[in-house]
Chains A and B, each alone.
Chain A
Amino acid sequence: MADEKAGRSVPKPSVYVDTAPFWEGAKAGKLVLQFCKDTKQFQHYPRPVSIYTGSRNLEWRQVSGKGTIYACTVIRVPGPGLEGRLPLSVATVLLDEGVRILGNILNVDPGAVAIGKRVELTWDRLSDEVQYPAFQLV
């Protein structure tokens, strides 16, 4: 298992906007996403402003990690960072809080993943210190 993960690169946080709450949340096992306080809507990936209003009246809130598969595919060809991960199940998940997020569906035969299936949060370990949100079928 350790060998399989050797090729995973660990992203540097906050390279384009401040994403520290996402990474700190992940460290604590919580999925924390950006939230527009004016419209009471989440947005993901994080932005410099609210995509609804253009204001910076944003905060970070924890979400349940429960959701439904909106779209799904299985990556089958090698590429950077994919070593030891193929076939790799990828889905767009619609979280119950009303925000879509890309994530891997772990611990499952990719053939069992389908649009409409319920998922819950799990964690993909990128390194000894860093874990990344992923999902598994409920």
Chain B
Amino acid sequence: MTRTKRDVVIAGYSETAIDFKTGRSAYDLGGEAFAKLLAATGIAKDAIDGLSVTAPLSECPNPFFAVYMTEALGMTPTWLNYGGTGGCSATGGVARAASAIRDGHCEVAVVLSADAPSTAWRANYGAYRSEFQDPPGVQGPPATFGLLMSRYDHRFGIKPEALGKIAITQRQHALHNENAYAKFKTPITMADYEKSRVIADPLRLLDCVMFCDGANAFLVTTEERARGLGITKMVYPTAYAEVTNFNGNQPLAEITETGFSQVAPRVYKQSGLTPKDIRMFQPYDDFTIAVMMKFEDFGFCKRGQGSDFTLDTDLSYKGALPLNTGGGQISAGQPGLASGGLNLAEAVRQMFGEGGGRQVASPNNALVTGIGVIPYARNWGISAAMILEA
């Protein structure tokens, strides 16, 4: 346990409401999250000398979005990071900010993620897609996840009611989340899940996220500096690991083996925690199957037992393993590539004791994950995980 890093902290968080087709830009949403972060932490803007910005779908044609954001916010950072790891950019931004702080590039950093793809989708992935992915009709993540689910089902079996339980549990949590997309604040039943439209067999509508608009921000600094700024609420990111293009030189590797199989042991080793020590799980949830597969990768159950584990475990905020207690992206709405910050914000909120009607008791740690990019006929491009401790 002596190896655990406790010098750098997340000393504040903020989040905008998640909404659909707001007509607003990532700058405007990011500015709102930034102003809220200043208000929440009580620090002056000019105390901030580091900034990590997530590349958004809605502004990605501008390669200088991060620089433009510093102008929009009136900031003069001595450390700037532009995060291109999609849903891993928030946790990854915190980890990179911690490294920058330890290296002396800055002292007080903001990790800012804002996106508005439901208002303005401007991404064009280019590359091989027009020649090799679009012709067979594999245009978005659902088809790739349908393929992944078919493979998982073939190897281990999927109990649909387990995926339904994940969707229902997270929807129940979203009811208590004031930032969740308003149209999702209606409970759903197993019958609703079973009746929901099949998108790409066996993937159903209620297994999926929906693109929305929104933003979030985190304050990262040393504990010493945070206390000097008068901040009293903070959490310690004691572990972080990521891997990109897992099995990248092994195109015949089993696609149900994911980067989390490598990331999970690394974050457990860094933190000294074990699966049974994890107080809450805030996994990146683009699709329910990704949540279920992570139960396995993070050792909450054995490989292939995700369905039974899901059905046998109380995943509510009062339960044995509270799951995405703000509703996750599936039931709060996915704010484009700011999405990874949604799961992270909920973890920090819970650990600050600000969970309101969904507060987890004794919130002494949280495991948060990120997923980025859907590759050609595999699972996902980037896997990241962070452990926060009180």
- Is there contact, CB below 8 Å, between A73 and B251? no
Task: Let me know if A11 and B130 touch, CB within 8 A.
Answer: yes
B146 lies within 8 A of A73 (CB): yes
Query: In the bound complex, how far is the Cα of B375 from the Cα of A44, in angstroms?
Result: 12
Q: Is A40 part of the binding interface, using a Cβ–Cβ cutoff of 8 Å?
A: no
In this complex, which of A15, A75, A85 has the most chain B Cβ atoms within 10 angstroms of its Cβ?
A: A75
**In the complex the two chains form, is B203's CB within 8 Å of A73's CB?**
yes
Q: Select one of B127, B132, B148, B248 contacting A102, CB under 8 A.
A: B132
Q: Measured between alpha carbons, how far is A126 from B136 in the docked complex, in Å?
A: 11
Please tell me if the beta carbons of A71 and B249 are within 8 angstroms of each other in the complex. Answer: no
Cα A70 to Cα B249 in complex, Å, equals 19
A77 → chain B, closest Cβ, in Å?
A: 5
Contacting residue for A134 out of B136, B198, B248, B251, CB 8 A = B136
Q: How far is the CA of A94 from the CA of B133 in the complex (A)?
A: 16
B210: shortest Cβ distance to chain A, in Å? 13
Residues of chain A within 8 A of B251, CB atoms compared? 43-44, 51, 99-100
Chain A interface bracket (under 10, 10 to 19, 20 to 34, 35 or more): 35 or more
Which residue from chain A places its CB closest to the CB of B130 in the assembled complex? A11
Q: Which residue of B lies closest to A87 (CB)?
A: B201
**B residues within 8 A CB of A6?**
none
Let me know if B139 and A15 touch, CB within 8 A.
no
The reply to whether A19 and B143 form a contact with Cβ atoms under 8 Å apart is: no
* Complex alpha-carbon distance, A84 and B345, angstroms: 43
Which chain A residue has the least Cβ–Cβ distance from B148?
A: A71
B131 and A15: CB pair below 8 A?
yes
- Interface residues in A77-110 by Cβ distance below 8 A to B read 77, 79-82, 85, 88, 90-92, 94, 98-104, 110
B residues in contact with A99, CB < 8 Å: 251-252
Q: Is A124 an interface residue (CB 8 A)?
A: yes
Contact A45 B128 (CB under 8 A): yes
Instruction: Tell me if B127 and A16 are in contact (CB < 8 A).
Output: yes
The listed residue (B130, B133, B147, B252) touching A15 by CB distance below 8 A is B130
Is B199 a contact of A102 with CB atoms below 8 Å?
no
Contacts of A9 in B (CB 8 A): 134
Chain B interface category by residue count: 35 or more
* B128 pairs with A71, CB closer than 8 A: no
Contact, CB under 8 Å: A70 / B151: yes
A44, A45, A73, A104: the one contacting B200 at CB < 8 Å is A73
Contacts between the two chains (Cβ within 8 Å), count: 121
Q: Are B137 and A115 in contact (CB under 8 A)?
A: no
Q: Are A11 and B137 in contact (CB under 8 A)?
A: no
Whether B139 contacts A80 by the Cβ 8 Å rule is: yes
Q: Which of B105-158 contact A (CB under 8 A)?
A: 126-128, 130-140, 142-143, 146-151, 154
State whether B138 touches A102 (Cβ < 8 A): yes
Compute how far the CA of A91 lies from the CA of B202 in the bound complex, rounded to whole angstroms.
Answer: 13
Instruction: Please indicate which of the listed interface residues A71, A74, A101, A134 has the most CB atoms of chain B within 10 Å of its own CB.
Output: A71
Chain B nearest Cβ from A34, distance in angstroms = 11
Q: Are B147 and A73 in contact (CB under 8 A)?
A: yes
Q: Chain B residues near A22 (CB, 8 Å)?
A: 131
Judge if A72 is at the interface, Cβ distance under 8 Å: yes
Contact A124 B143 (CB under 8 A): no
Q: Which of B131, B139, B197 has the most chain A CB atoms inside 10 A of its CB?
A: B131
Q: Which residues of A contact B134 (CB under 8 A)?
A: 9, 11, 81
Contact A79 B201 (CB under 8 A): no
User: How near does chain A come to B375, taking the closest CB pair, in angstroms?
Assistant: 10
- Minimum Cβ distance to chain A for residue B179 (Å): 28
Chain B residue nearest to A51 in the complex (CB): B249
Would A11 and B135 count as touching, CB distance under 8 A?
yes
Docked complex Cα distance between A82 and B137 (Å): 7
A29 within 8 A of B: no
Q: Does B229 contact A (CB under 8 A)?
A: no
User: Across the interface, do A90 and B143 meet the contact criterion of CB distance under 8 Å?
Assistant: yes
Q: Which residue in B132, B138, B151, B198 is a CB contact (below 8 Å) of A76?
A: B198
Other A-B contacts than A71-B255, A132-B136, 4 sampled, CB-CB below 8 A, are A46-B132, A73-B150, A80-B139, A104-B137
21 contacts between A and B (CB under 8 A): A11-B135, A16-B126, A16-B131, A51-B251, A71-B147, A73-B143, A74-B201, A75-B138, A76-B198, A82-B137, A90-B136, A90-B146, A94-B252, A98-B252, A100-B252, A100-B377, A102-B138, A110-B201, A115-B154, A116-B154, A134-B136
The 9 closest A-B pairs by CB, nearest first: A73-B146, A71-B147, A45-B132, A71-B151, A45-B128, A74-B201, A115-B154, A11-B131, A73-B200
